[in-house]
Amino acid sequence: MPRVKLFDENEVLTKAMNLFWKQGYAATSVQDLVSHLGINRASLYDTFGDKEQLFRKSFELYRKINIEGLKQFLGGQKDIREGFIKLFDNAIQEAITDTDRKGCFVVNTTTELVPNDESIAEVLQSNKHEFENTFLEYLKKGEDAGQIKTDQDLESIAALFYTLYNGLRVVSKVQPDKKKLTDTVKVALSVLD
């Protein structure tokens, strides 16, 4: 008779995501996972595979949550410039109120595992592409609505905003100064004027 799982897989995966996000891949042991997740090793391996497989599933969950959240947020913003202001302001607020100073799981993974892990580098490249395309589509919507100039290099602006969005998370880990971060965003958004 098969064993019945006494835990919610999505809840456990979310807990694993948060632990890897806070501690990183290398610093998180299997024992850390067992203790934090509240499940035994056998259940961990049977359900999620080894540590690396659990990390990748956790990382995919983080990416999925973020890209879906970004698309939903921008989809609800009619004014392009205001939409970006709110997006960056939200990112700053999240970063400076995070007592663990986790930053961005994607950025943390990039600095920890690249260039030594080619398969994660491909996932990170895909993530970058997805974010930049989302920004680009939103910028084109603003261009079509006459909210931004038509002679701009929207692909480069989308790449700049992706870099800024991730950079805010890095800088806030070291210096969570809302005014300085907000001033940086204002300068970057001036490319839309």
Q: Report the CATH number at residue 30.
A: 1.10.10.60
Alpha carbon 193 to its chain's center? 27
Kindly tell me if the per-residue pLDDT of 2 is higher than 70.
no
Mean pLDDT for the chain overall: 92
Is 18 among the domain residues? Answer: yes
Tokens of 24: 């990183």
Check the CA dihedral 76-148-126-103 and report its sign: negative
Tokens of 172: 């806030």
* Structural domain range at position 115: 77-192
Radius of gyration from C-alpha coordinates of the chain: 19
Is 63 among the domain residues? Answer: no
Residue 191 has what DSSP assignment?
G
Kindly tell me if the per-residue pLDDT of 160 is higher than 50.
yes
The whole-angstrom separation of Cα 143 and Cα 150 is 6
| Residue 123 and residue 30 share a domain | no
State the DSSP string of 136-159: HHHHHHHHHTTSS-TTS-HHHHHH
Q: What is the pTM of this model?
A: 0.89
8 Å CB contact between 105 and 55: no
- CATH number, domain with residue 164: 1.10.357.10
pLDDT single digits (tens) 43-78: 889 889 999 999 999 999 999 999 999 999 999 999
| Residue 177 and residue 109 share a domain | yes
8 Å CB contact between 78 and 36: no
pLDDT band at 5 (very low <50, low <70, confident <90, very high): low
Burial class of residue 71 in the structure, from the number of CB atoms within 10 Å of its CB (0-12 exposed, 13-18 middle, 19+ buried):
middle
Kindly tell me if the per-residue pLDDT of 101 is higher than 90.
no
- Please indicate whether residue 87 or residue 149 has the higher confidence score (pLDDT): 87
Is 48 among the domain residues? Answer: yes
Total domains in the chain come to: 2
Percent of the chain with pLDDT over 70: 96
Kindly tell me if the per-residue pLDDT of 1 is higher than 50.
no
Is 69 among the domain residues? Answer: no
Kindly tell me if the per-residue pLDDT of 182 is higher than 80.
yes
pLDDT band at 128 (very low <50, low <70, confident <90, very high): very high
| Residue 30 and residue 122 share a domain | no
Is 65 among the domain residues? Answer: no
Is 11 among the domain residues? Answer: yes
> Mean pLDDT throughout 107-117?
89
| Residue 163 and residue 82 share a domain | yes
pLDDT at 151: 87
pLDDT band at 4 (very low <50, low <70, confident <90, very high): very low
